[in-house]
Amino acid sequence: MTLIDKNPHEQCVITGFAPGSKKYRARLLAMGLTRGTRVKLIRRAPMGDPLEIELRGFRLTLRRDEASIVLIQIGRHDGRGPHGFGKKNRGKHCE
């Protein structure tokens, strides 16, 4: 699932990137959207787009269709982390 399918205030973890513009990905990476980073969708703009997310203690806005390259899973830890949260949830949708 990707960043845009989430409900506001759900805690998620970035798992990777879908193929897409390398330039855009580079900017996201610089902003700290690396694998294993926790993100929270704060809100959508009044007209549904863009999205406001929180990560690493700051807030960022991304457009829905552009942000769709960010893959996430619900929860607090990356699947590879020591707590092994991911196995249980891998492949599950966030609804």
Partner 1 sequence: MDLGKKTEENIVNNFTIALAGNPNCGKTSIFNNITGGKQQIGNWPGVTVERKEGKLALPQGEARVVDLPGIYSLVASSQDEQVARDFLMGGEVSLIVNVVDSSNLERNLYLTTQLLELNIPMVILLNMYDLSIQKGLDIDSCLMQRLLSVPVLPINAINKQDNQAIKDFFIEMPIKKGYKETLSLPNELEDFLNKWSSLVVDNDLYIDKKNALIRYLEGDESYLKSSLSENLTKQMNQEIKELESLLKDPSDVILADYRYGFINGICQKTVRIKKTVTSISAQIDGVVLNKYLGIPIFLVVMYMSFGFAMTLGNYFVSYFDRFFGWLFVDSLRGLLEGMSSPQWIISLVAEGMGAGLQTVATFVPVIFFMFFILSILEDSGYMARAAFITDRFMKSIGLPGKSFVPKLVGFGCTVPAIMATRTLEKKRDRYMTIFMVPFMSCGARFPVYAMLTASFFPQSSGLIVFSIYLLGIVLAILTGLLLKNSLFKGEISEFIMELPPYHQPRFKHIMLHTWRRLRDFIFRAGKVILLMVFILGFFNSLGIDGSFGNENNDKSLLTTVGKAVTPVFKPMGIEQNNWPATVGLFTGIFAKEAALGTMTSLYSQIEGQRIEETSINQLIQRYFNPWSAYAFMIFVLIYCPCLAALAAAFREMGAMMTLLMSVYLTSLAWIGATVFYQVAHGHDYKWVIISIFMLIFMVISLRSLGGWADKKVKQ
Contact residues toward partner 1 (CB under 8 A) are 16-17, 21-32, 34-37, 42-50, 52, 56-63, 66
Helix or strand run (H / E) with residue 65: helix 64-67
- Which of residues 81 and 93 has its CB atom nearest to partner 1 in the complex? 81
Closest separation in Å from C-beta 40 to partner 1: 11
Pair of tokens at residue 95: 């609804």
Contact of 81 with 36, CB cutoff 8 Å: yes
Using CA atoms, how far apart are residues 39 and 33, in angstroms rounded to an integer?
8
- Which of residues 62 and 74 has its CB atom nearest to partner 1 in the complex? 62
Closest separation in Å from C-beta 92 to partner 1: 22
